[in-house]
Structure formats: C-alpha cells, structure tokens
Amino acid sequence: MDFFQTHPWVLIAIAVHLAILLAIAYLILLERKVASWVQDRLGPNRVGLGLGIIPILKDMKMKGLGQPLADGIKFLLKEDFRPAGADKILFSVAPALMIAVVIVSIAVLPWGGIKQTTRIIDVTSVADGIVPAAGTPEYRAIMDQCNAIVPATGQLIGQPIIHVATGGVAARVTYRYPFQIATLNVGVLFIFAVLALAVYGVVIGGWASNNKYSFLGGLRGAAQMISYEVPLGLSLLCIILMFGTLDLGEIVDKQATYWGSFVPAWNVFCQPLAFALFLICIHAEANRAPFDLAEAEQELVGGYHTEYSSMRFALFFLSEYAGMITTSAVCVALFFGGWHLPWLEWLWSPLRGNVDAAASPAITTSLLACVIRAAVFFAKTLLVIFVFMWVRWSLPRFRFDQLMSLAWRALVPMSLALLMATALVIYFFGAAAQRAHLRVGGTMALAMLGANVIIGAASLLAARMLPAPPPTNRRLKIRRGLEQSSPVAGAAL
Amino acid sequence: MIMKEDDVKILTEPRLSLADQFYLPQVLIGLGTTMKHLVGVLGGKHRVIQYPEQRREDLPVDQGGMLKSTYHGVHRLNKDAQGRVKCVACFMCSTACPANCIHIEAAEALWDDREKYPLTFVIDELRCIYCGMCEEACPVDAIELTSLYDLIGFTRQEMIFDKAKLLEVFDRTVKAEPM
C-alpha cells in the first residue's frame, strides 16, 4: 500500500491501460454499431457475454456485448500465416511497433489535474519528544523522511510542520502530484514525436510482406502521414503560442475557466479554424476514412496489412483504434478543456479546485474529484471518437492526388496564415497576459475568433484565385497512324 | 471500327460553388444526412428482420415480407391423385436448365397413361440458380419451385436431392402451397 502512495502513477497507469484496452475492444463494437445505424441496420446483437457456452448467460444476447470477446478469441485461433519471401523479423516487428508507439503516447495525457495530499507521518524514531530546530541533523533526518513519501512525479508544498503529538513527534507533509502517468514539460511534442513513428509500422509492414499491394499501401501511407504532419504541427503551434507552454496539463489547466463567467474558456471557441484543421489532420494521421488510402480495399486489397492474419493483424487493427483514442484525447486536451466539466463543477468545490482556485483550478484535495475528472476526460474523448466513426461512414475516400492537393494547397497555407494571425493577435491583445502567464482573456479570445473567421473567409476568396490544378481527366489524342492503318477508317475518309 | 476525333464527347467538370470548394459545408450536410439515419434507427426506424425469430413469409410484402406465390425456393416433384410421381421423364426441364443441375434416368412406365417415368431424378441444389426455367418447361406441371428457402446441410452430398427427397418436399409443402 505504501508503494502505491509514493508511486501513484503506477496505479494510474494500470487503471488507464485497462480502461483503454477495454475501450479499444468495445470501440470496435461501437464502430460496427455506428456503421449499421447509419445504414438503417441494427448491427451485431447476437453474442452475449456467455458466448453461447457459459450456462445461465448462454441464452442472453445482451445487445451483442460479447462480440468483441468472440472476435478476440477468433483472432487468437486463426492461422498465423506468413507469406513466402516475407522478411521474417520485420514482418513481426511492424505490428508490435505500431501498437507500442500508440500505447506509449498515452503516458503523458493529463487525466485528472493535480492532486494535493496532506499526510501526517510519525518521526518519533528520529526526534524523540522534542521538535528539532532547523539546521540540526535531526531536522535534516526528518526532512529526508518527509521527502521520501513525496511521489517522484510530485513536489513538496511548503515546509513540513513538525509538532509533538501523543506518543511521539509527527510531521505534517503536504505535497502535490499530477494525476497522470508521466509528467513531461514537453508533453505535446512527445506525443506527436512518438505518434509520427507509427508511419514506420505502416511502411515496414508494407515492405516486409513482399506483396505489391502492401508495398503500395505502405508508400501511400508514408506520403500521407508525412504530408499531414505539417498542417497538424502548425495548427498545434497556434495553441502552443497562445499558452506559451508544451505541457498538456498546463494547457488544460488554463482552459478550465470561463469567459464572461459563463462561456467555457475552451480553445475550440476561440480557435475554431485551428480545431477544424487539427481534426482533419488527425483523421489523416490515424489512417481513418476519408483518408484511409493506405488500406483502400477497392484498390489495394487490404493495403499494408493485406498479408497479415491472426494476432498480428489484430495488433494493426487495435493500434488503429488505440491511435484514435490517443489523438482524440490530445484533441480534447487542446481544444475541449480536458477534464474541465463546465457549469456542473459549480456544484462541488473539489471539482473546480479547492486549494487555490485563483492560481490553478487543477489543484484539488479530493481523489474522487480526480477520478471524476478522468471520467469526464474519457467521455469527451469518446465523443470525439464517435465523430471519427460518424465521418467514416459519411464520406467517401479521397483520390490520392486530391489528398495531396488538400494537404499542400489548402491545409498548409491556411495553417500558416492562421499561425501568423494568432501571433499578431497575441502581439496586440495578449502581451500583458503572456508575460503574466495568465489565461487567455475574453478580449483576446474574441480577437482570436475574429482572426479565425477572417482567415477562413480569406482562404475562401484565395481559393478562387489559385491557379487551376492539372485537369483530372487527361485525354490522349487519338493517334493519326492508327486511324489511317485501319481500312474502315480509311474508307470513311 | 476505330474511334475518330469527332466521336469523342468532351465533358467538362461543373465548376464548384464556393461552398463546394471549401468542402466543410458540404461535409457537414453529409454528416447531417447520416445522423438523420442514425437517430432514426435508434428511434426504431430500421429495416432489419431478425431472421430466425422473424421470418419473411410471416410479414406483409410492404414491410419486407416475401410473396410466397412467386418465390423460387427448393424444388419439389409433384404427385398425382393416386400418389404416383407426375413426371413423365421427358427431359424438358434438364434441357432447359441453364445450370445443368437436373439429372434424370428414364425407364419404361409402370402405368398405362404414359410411356416413361423417372427411375432417378436428381437435382443438385448447390448448382441450381433457382431461375425456375424447369417449372416453365415442364409440360405436365410435375416440377415446381416451393417457397422453402432455408435448406441446410452439413455435407455437399446432403444438398444433392434425389427423387425420394424431392417427393418428400412435395408432402411437406402441398398443404401450404397446393399445385
């Protein structure tokens, strides 16, 4: 128990990973359900949790809740096939790399703000009966003991208060730790650096299969993911510029307030265009329709995972959903205020930060509040994931040239212009706020919204003035020689 | 004949409107359409028949039910009033069959009212495309397609219906679907 008190991140990591792995399984069910609802069907609704074998549960269908389990068992039991001529090592490395990369990037998500804990520890063994003065060896020994109980990711707040209690001497220690797995002051950078590695999974998988369709899928995937990384990073930069930090926790913390004491200070309201660009790019990053060119069934059989079967295929499949969770969670943290539960948080003070709400609404003394915040965060993430699925079953796939022209002719210039506009707005409206490290003020938010609208309208007009793209329907002239060599054509002439 | 330059009709793509060019408004309209269907299904407006519990023959046609009288299902060999097989082994059906799935061996008739009768009459139900040409071709209305559609078997052999089995289908369906 003591171990978990000094290493809370281990518990958080276990809880988060279990929740996410379970969520992935059920996201696949949700995807199938959404697909069928959109198509006026009902979707899988036969397999209950008894899987047709376990007594009592056997005859309950439970709306298909057992389907992911049945799918998992099926994946495990399928033949693990590797084509002749496939690269033995790389063929196995690719799916493992893909899933590892996605799971690692979950580590820096700020699930529940900052938890403040006060503990009273017994220091009688060091100082018997008296409160030692500062500087004495006993005092230093007490300080060492106090420091030992502070989690590695946390920090001591103030000086421990040492006092004589019944039966000895006690020290009152207050410390704070962020309610997340790892604290990283370059959190955003880390996530996107790691997620960008997923392109290796696609390329290596495509190359190692020794199959031309897989190879083409891998190439397309690489070109697409690298192209969309650019506008993704640029739209992200708008947010980072506003807050002057790469720490996801801090970005969420500064959104957990209100403009005009009613509108949640979420970035989606002051940077809607950046949000739209970001959303488009994470669709492309996650290889989801309408950007699923790497696995276009109609053209490439199955794309980079054509040759994969059994659990190796399952890893590719799961990493697609895990990637959706990660990118959606980052989207929530950057644009939807992370764990911030607007309006409802007024009902219970620990939820809105009960230590020093003026300094940071993130700090709370209640563990329950942290858990509720994590649940809120997760619920928002699920909503974004639902948008992913909704989009997938609404839009047809882009053609490859359309995909590239969307990235380089539209998204990159727009995100560059938006970045410029954001910088200008900060220069004119937010200089004081930036220096004081305050939250984005109401005026600045309005100015930012205005800048977004202007950039959107300007890009609409600019699109009319862009030189026309090469014609999509390039017709070849009928060859003269052919015409003459044919007796029929000759007679007609 | 080789195509000439004049034969080629050149179509130009229609110029996109401002909203089309920006994608997002049209994307939102598309999302609206799918959301309408999604909400409709959650409100119970789906087009699914839960098969083993609900069957198409029990539903009215306008709700996705099937018209039994015109359905092309498993074949049967009809019997006459004396319980004899009606077939006269004329081979019209197997000649008409586009899938070549009807195999008949004719023999001298045991009765005076016809020359031949089928000694064996085998239909490969896996090969059959259920087009109903045999039924059209039959001069004595001996072969008919019933409305049974849920035929199953664990082996291919089970799905090759011989004369006894086809007559049994008649016994099973004659009440519901008289000749």
Q: Give the whole-angstrom CA distance, residue A15 versus residue A395.
A: 35
Q: Which pLDDT score is estimated for A410?
A: 86
Q: Does A464 touch chain B (CB under 8 A)?
A: yes
Mutate to test the interface with A, among B15, B17, B34 (most CBs of A within 10 A): B34
What are the angstrom distances between the C-alpha of A214 and each of A197, A291, A302, A305, A435? 18, 17, 7, 6, 52
The residues pairing with B77 across neighbouring beta strands, listed in sequence order, are B143
Mutate to test the interface with B, among A32, A37, A486 (most CBs of B within 10 A): A37
Query: How far does A278 lie from chain B, in Å, by closest CA?
Result: 13
Q: Name the 3-class secondary structure at B160.
A: strand
Q: Whats the size of chain A, residue-wise?
A: 493
The predicted pLDDT at position A398 comes to 84
pLDDT tens digits, one per residue of B5-60? 788 887 777 777 777 777 888 889 999 999 999 998 888 888 888 888 888 888 88
Share of chain B above pLDDT 90, in %: 38
Give chain B positions within 8 Å (CB) of A472.
13
Instruction: Over range B121-140, report the average pLDDT.
Output: 92
Q: What is the pLDDT of residue A490?
A: 43
- Comparing CB atoms, the residue among B4, B5, B31 nearest residue A391 is B31
CB-defined contacts A:B, below 8 A: 70
Give the residue among A250, A271, A268 at the shortest CA–CA distance from A183: A250
Instruction: For residue B135, give how far its alpha carbon lies from the nearest alpha carbon of chain A (Å).
Output: 36
* The Cα angle at residue A54 between residues A51 and A59, in degrees rounded to 5: 65
Structure tokens at A248: 């996801």
Contact A463 B5 (CB under 8 A): no
Q: Which residues 6+ apart lie within 8 Å of A95 measured at CB? A: A201, A205, A308, A312, A313, A315, A316, A319
Q: CB–CB of B22 and A483 under 8 A?
A: no
Scanning B7-66 for CB atoms below 8 A from A yields: 8, 10-11, 13, 18, 21-24, 27, 30-31, 33-35, 37-38, 40-42, 45-48
CB contact under 8 A, B4 and A475: no
Quick one: CA dihedral B119, B124, B125, B128, positive or negative?
negative
Residues of chain A positioned with their CB less than 8 A from the CB of B27:
391, 394-395
- Span B68-173 CATH architecture: 2-Layer Sandwich (3.30)
Residues in chain A where the model's pLDDT stays below 50:
437, 486-493
Half-sphere exposure of A146 (CA within 13 A, CB side): 25
Q: Are the C-beta atoms of residues A287 and A227 closer than 8 Å to each other?
A: no
Cross-chain CB nearest to A276 (options B3, B24, B45)? B24
Q: Rounded distance, CA B163 to CA B122, Å?
A: 6
Among A406, A475, A486, select the one facing B2 at the smallest CB separation: A486
H/E segment holding residue A392 = helix A367-392
Q: Nearest-CA residue of chain A relative to B40?
A: A40
pLDDT of residue A417: 92
Q: Which amino acid is present at A88?
A: K
- Tens digit of pLDDT for each residue in A224-276? 888 898 999 999 898 888 888 888 888 888 888 787 778 888 888 888 999 99
Q: What was the pLDDT predicted at A165?
A: 72
Of A42, A390, A486, which has the smallest distance from its Cβ to B46's Cβ?
Answer: A42
Going across the sheet that includes B160-161, the strands are B102-108, B116-124, B160-161
* Token digits of residue B99: 């899938």
List of chain A residues whose C-beta atoms are within 8 Å of the C-beta of residue B35: 390
pLDDT of residue A207: 87
Q: In DSSP terms, which residues pair with A155 in a beta bridge?
A: A176
- Structure confidence at residue A434 (pLDDT): 54
Q: Does A464 contact B18 at a Cβ distance shorter than 8 Å?
A: yes
Length of chain B: 179
Place of tokens 């009592």: A56
Q: How confident is the model at residue B123 (pLDDT cuts 50, 70, 90)?
A: very high
In chain A, the residue whose alpha carbon lies closest to the alpha carbon of B9 is A475
The two structure tokens encoding residue A95: 């799916």
User: In this predicted structure, what is the pLDDT of residue A492?
Assistant: 43
pTM: predicted TM-score of the whole model, two decimal places: 0.81
Yes or no, beta carbons of A482 and B18 under 8 Å apart: no
Residue partners of A273: CB distance under 8 A and separation at least 6? A414, A418, A452, A453, A455, A456
Residue A171 pairs with which residues in a beta bridge?
A: A121, A162
Higher confidence at residue B6 or residue B116? B116
- Residue A50: CB atoms within 10 A of its CB come to 16
* E strand spans, A101-217: 114-122, 155-156, 161-165, 168-178
CB contact under 8 A, A460 and B42: no
**Between chains, do A460 and B33 touch, taking CB under 8 Å as contact?**
no
Each domain of chain B, given as residue ranges in start order, spans: 68-173
Q: A435 touching B, CB under 8 A?
A: no
The answer to whether the CB of A37 falls within 8 A of the CB of A43 is yes
Q: Which residue of B has its CA nearest to A481?
A: B2
Strand stretches in A337-417, DSSP E: 363-364
A465 vs B contacts (CB less than 8 Å): none
Chain A residues in contact with B31 (beta carbon < 8 A) = 390-391, 394
